[in-house]
Amino acid sequence: MSAVIDSGRRAAVERAGARPAAAPAVPDAIGEPAWVRRALIGVALGFLTLFLFVPLVSVFVQALAKGVDVYWAALVQADALSALKLTLIAASVSVPLNLVFGVAAAWAIAKFDFRGKSVLLTLIDLPFSVSPVIAGLIYMLVFGLQGWCGEWLRDHDMKVVFAVPGIVLATVFVTFPFIARELIPLMQAQGQEQEEAARVLGASGWQILWRVTLPNVKWALLYGVILCNARAMGEFGAVSVVSGHIRGQTNTLPLHIEILYNDYQFAAAFAVASLLAGLALVTLVLKYIVERRMHASAEPEKSQ
């Protein structure tokens, strides 16, 4: 969703300028009494505990509920490994594709003025407002047996839906805007003076891209890749529609979790889920580090 990106970008770009180096102590005139402060903190943390921390912890607890042996067996089971492989394939195709698209789109939008730019920006955001199930549905309509290319694909003995290509395509769709949305605002804010200077000094287009533009946006790029990868590995709805749920062939990790859970193999389901929860935690840590780096590189002179 757009707010994933919005929040991330805002956190990085806006906080960079806004947050003072050290928060001053709250003056009494506009502070709340200590008991109010404590009560508000208590309620906020209570809410977060109930809705965030307990579910997160419960994943790991239930994964290990039947012991380490069951946990390990669930992870090395053949179906789990093939699901892991397919998840890695989907992510390793969709992230680079959307990375190339993001850089190309950001280069065109941020470095040039052309008609229809705002329309293009809106269209890039479009996949965020399409729900995952509908994202899967549209590929069924194009490549399914009743779809536009259905008969042609059947005649040429090719499968897209209920096969790996469909899963990859659905993943590409849902992760489509992530990297572009990180790069565009930053590259627009940076302007094109540095690139123009490089051009005047005789650099070619590719040299400008590799030596001037990309180094300037490397943290935003990494940030986009992290978010894109997390979504690619965790996507459920869109992939579920086009997968066909063939065990060992078209199951990704989230779909494998669903099958195990519906088979009442709870410990195994949570064991596989703990892998993805671990990935989510790594994503949050990386996000935190990269946000700090972006903060630092946005205003190096103000850092302590």
Partner 1 sequence: MSSHALLLRRHSVLPGFNLSLGFALLYLCFVVLIPLSAVFLKTFTASWDTFVATVTAPRVVASYRLTFGASLLAALVNGVFGLLVAWVLVRYRFAGKRIVDALVDLPFALPTAVAGIALTSLYAANGWIGSRLPFKVAYTPLGVFVALTFIGLPFVVRTVQPVLEDLQRELEEAAATLGASRLQTFAYVVFPALAPALLTGFALAFARALGEYGSVIFIAGNMPMISEITSLLIITKLEQYDYAGATAIAVVMLVSAFALLLLINLLQAWVRRRQGR
CB of 21 to partner 1, least distance (A): 13
Decide: is 35 part of the binding site for partner 1 (CB under 8 A).
no
Handedness of CA 46, 47, 51, 53 (dihedral sign): negative
Task: Give whichever of 81 and 100 is closer to partner 1, judged by the CB atom.
Answer: 100
**Both tokens assigned to 145:** 């047996």
> How many residues bind partner 1, per CB under 8 A?
112
Give the C-alpha distances (Å, rounded to integers) separating 24 from 28, 107, 222.
Answer: 12, 40, 32
Give the C-alpha distances (Å, rounded to integers) separating 96 from 79, 221, 248, 258.
Answer: 26, 12, 25, 28
Task: Give whichever of 44 and 189 is closer to partner 1, judged by the CB atom.
Answer: 44
Task: Give whichever of 51 and 76 is closer to partner 1, judged by the CB atom.
Answer: 51
CB of 15 to partner 1, least distance (A): 7
Task: Give whichever of 167 and 227 is closer to partner 1, judged by the CB atom.
Answer: 227
Rounded CA gap, 140 and 152, in Å?
A: 14
Report CA dihedral (300, 301, 303, 304) to the nearest 10 degrees. 140
Residue 293 phi/psi, 5° resolution? Answer: -65, -45
Segment 267 to 286, residues that bind partner 1, using CB under 8 A? 269-270, 273, 276-277, 279-281, 283-285
**Position among 21, 35, 112, 215 found at the interface with partner 1 (CB under 8 A):** 112
Decide: is 11 part of the binding site for partner 1 (CB under 8 A).
yes
Handedness of CA 32, 35, 38, 42 (dihedral sign): negative
Rounded CA gap, 254 and 84, in Å?
A: 9
Task: Give whichever of 3 and 21 is closer to partner 1, judged by the CB atom.
Answer: 3
Decide: is 120 part of the binding site for partner 1 (CB under 8 A).
yes
Report CA dihedral (46, 51, 54, 57) to the nearest 10 degrees. -130
Q: Write each residue from 205 to 244 as x if it is in contact with partner 1 (CB under 8 A), else as -, in one continuous string.
A: x--xx-----------------x--x--xxxxx--xx---
Instruction: Please list, in sequence order, all residues whose beta carbon lies within 8 angstroms of the beta carbon of residue 66, skipping any fewer than 6 positions away.
Output: 267
Segment 36 to 75, residues that bind partner 1, using CB under 8 A? 37, 40-41, 43-45, 47-48, 50-56, 58-59, 62
Decide: is 79 part of the binding site for partner 1 (CB under 8 A).
no
Question: Could you tell me which of 43, 40, 22 has the C-alpha nearest to residue 31?
Answer: 40
Decide: is 131 part of the binding site for partner 1 (CB under 8 A).
yes
**Both tokens assigned to 257:** 């979790």
Residues 87, 279 contacting (CB under 8 angstroms): no
CB of 199 to partner 1, least distance (A): 5
Segment 159 to 188, residues that bind partner 1, using CB under 8 A? 169, 172-173, 176
Decide: is 30 part of the binding site for partner 1 (CB under 8 A).
yes
Decide: is 261 part of the binding site for partner 1 (CB under 8 A).
yes
Which region, judged by CB under 8 A, interacts with partner 1, from 26-34, 76-84, 214-222, 294-302?
26-34
Rounded CA gap, 84 and 35, in Å?
A: 50
